[in-house]
């Protein structure tokens, strides 16, 4: 088993073993906005409980489309009440034209659509402003494709800017 797959398994085990009780509180129920990384996307984050949330991400990259769902556990950090650390996992499905494939897709013999399916991890820090409906987050989201091009992708770090609702 190579190093990347071992690292992904360790991340998944850490997520599974996280305690589900914490003092984290979102200053919002739902947040919608942009997720900016190597592509451009839309992020919808919704609080399930005080310390749990789900996030749906729809973004374009390599002239294709990727859909990701993440479940996260949230923890307060720092003394400022608007800061939360989050860690979670989920999955993705992605499509792109093979003739516009990323550099790691070496099989470009055919001009058709590529499809991948895989699992994702996510770790990040968010800040929600108290007086205005704005949430800012930075995160790192490694992913492992299980179906399609099987590889470990570590290059997905992003800044999210979201409008919040209580």
| CB distance 96 to 112 below 8 Å | no
DSSP string, 85-98: EEEEEEEEEEEEEG
- The pLDDT, as a whole number, for residue 107 is 57
The token duo for 55 is 């996030």
Averaged over 90-94, what is the pLDDT?
96
pLDDT at residue 17 greater than cutoff 50: no
- The pLDDT, as a whole number, for residue 108 is 54
Question: What CA–CA distance (Å, rounded) separates 85 from 124?
Answer: 6
CB-based contacts of 24: which residues, under 8 Å, 6+ apart? 50, 51, 74, 75, 76, 84
Residues above pLDDT 70, as percent of the chain: 75
Domains and CATH numbers, the chain: 3-165 (2.40.160.20)
CB-based contacts of 113: which residues, under 8 Å, 6+ apart? 95, 96, 97, 98
Residues above pLDDT 90, as percent of the chain: 54
Averaged over 35-55, what is the pLDDT?
92
């Amino acid at each position: 088993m190579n190093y990347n797959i071992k690292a992904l398994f360790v991340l998944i085990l850490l997520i599974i073993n996280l305690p589900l009780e914490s003092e984290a509180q979102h200053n919002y129920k739902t947040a919608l906005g942009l997720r900016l990384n190597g592509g451009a996307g839309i992020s919808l984050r919704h609080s399930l409980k005080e310390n749990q949330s789900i996030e749906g991400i729809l973004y374009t990259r390599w002239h294709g489309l990727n859909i990701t769902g993440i479940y996260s556990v949230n923890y307060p950090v720092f003394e400022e009440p608007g800061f939360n650390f989050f860690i979670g996992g989920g999955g993705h499905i992605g499509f792109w034209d093979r003739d516009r494939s990323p550099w790691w897709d070496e099989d470009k013999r055919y001009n058709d659509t590529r499809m991948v399916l895989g699992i994702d991890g996510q770790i990040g820090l968010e800040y929600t402003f108290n007086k205005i409906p704005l949430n800012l987050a930075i995160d790192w989201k490694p992913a492992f494709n299980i179906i399609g091009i099987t590889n470990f992708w570590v290059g997905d770090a992003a800044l999210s800017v979201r409008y919040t609702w209580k």
